Amino acid sequence: MRLLNPKTDYAFRKIFGSESSRDILVSFLNAILALSGEDTIVDVVILDPRLAPKIDGMKDTYLDVRVQDQRGRSYIVEMQVLNVEGFEKRVLYNACKAYVNQLPKGTPYHILSEVVAVTVTDFLMFPDLAGVVGRFRLRADENPLIVHRDLELVFAELPKFTKTAAELATTLDRWLYFLKTAGDLAAVPQVLAMETAIVHAFDLANEGAWTREELDELEKREMWIGEQRHILELARTAEQRGEAKGEVKGRAEGLAKGKAEALTRLLEKRFGPLSEQHCRRIRSADAASIEAWLDRLMEASSLDDLFSATN
């Protein structure tokens, strides 16, 4: 059995957001939110079970899963592998938008129900927090026990999860272990086999359960993520050089130069050595043009096709 990496957001949506994923979501949400008693989720409705994200160009593609439980509470569940600028603000924006969109025009406010945004990240977001799972709500400064529960952000940072298979003690431990290691496993470990929902998740992560079209889209997504990681690393390195100069201008120039270098490397990797004309064009381009070329990189069939888009 070849298992696909559930940390790739496209695979994550297939596993957690398909027509047959309800038991998986119930188990995962109850575990990560530590729900018990009357708060326990017993069933969910997946609001958009189609696996049909916008892949071409990748920009503004967010592969989240949206569900409601039996009490009408809404959940946004998402896997994020790229630590892009402003990411936490986008999570908050999407949660607020989901909260507001519950209310048709002219409908009384009291019908609004809770919205919980659950985000699993493959990078550190809050290094000053020790726990793997961090929960954020509106609280009163004077008395933290007074909590506004209608909006909640929950982050699970996979790099902080370091338990071995022998150390797994809870359902949440087992889910985090699945997310972190499933892509490297060849079979379901015995310690995870006790959770029927996780066994089901392994079934959905099995390459044999995917169509050829889905596997092609997954491959495109993984290639794009790898390229974006490379771009972000080069851009941050260049930005740090600018910061070392202590100059705002140097920082901006360093960031632009880093993106231009990243674009050049990616183009050479895909199309071979660039002509001096193409190199000059990239070096002299403004930031908006470079961003546009990076967005079109995956769908462009040639250098002429890529550059003609901004003519």
Write the DSSP assignment of 34-64 as a string of letters. Answer: T--GGG----EEES--------TT-TT----
Other CB atoms within 10 Å distance of the CB of residue 65: 25
C-alpha torsion 43→45→50→54, nearest 10: -110
pLDDT at 310: 55
Pair of tokens at residue 136: 């954020």
Phi (first) and psi of residue 157, to 5 degrees:
-100, 105
Residues 6+ apart with CB under 8 A from 118: 29, 32, 33, 75, 76, 77, 78, 154, 156
Residues ≥6 apart with Cβ < 8 Å to 157: 121, 123, 124, 125, 126, 132, 133, 134
Residue 218: predicted pLDDT: 76
Q: What is the CA radius of gyration of the chain?
A: 22
* pLDDT (0 to 100) of residue 173: 97
- Diameter of the chain measured on Cα atoms: 68
Give me the pLDDT at residue 52, please.
47
Low-confidence ranges of the chain (pLDDT < 70): 1, 48-63, 224, 227, 230-232, 234-256, 298, 309-311
Q: Using the Cα atoms of residue 13, residue 170, residue 2 and residue 222 in order, give the sign of their dihedral.
A: positive
Task: Give the Cα separation of 118 and 188 in Å (integer).
Answer: 25
Whether 6 and 185 have beta carbons less than 8 Å apart is answered as no
- In this prediction, residue 118 carries a pLDDT of 95
Q: What is the pLDDT of residue 56?
A: 44
Residues in Cβ contact with 279 at an 8 Å cutoff, skipping those fewer than 6 apart: 264
Helix 276-284 × helix 248-271 angle, to 10°: 150
Residue 239: predicted pLDDT: 57
pLDDT tens for 201-230 read 999 988 877 778 877 777 777 776 776 776
Q: How far apart are CA 32 and CA 186, in angstroms?
A: 25
Report pLDDT digits (tens) over 25-50: 999 999 999 999 988 999 999 886 55
**58: Cα separation from own chain's centroid:** 13
- Rounded to whole angstroms, how far apart are CA atoms 293 and 310? 8
Q: Hunting for tokens 């901004």 — which residue is that?
A: 310
Q: Does the reported pTM lie above 0.85?
A: no
Q: In this structure, how many other beta carbons lie within 10 angstroms of the beta carbon of residue 147?
A: 12
In angstroms, the CA 217 to CA 11 distance is 10
Residues 6+ apart with CB under 8 A from 245: 251
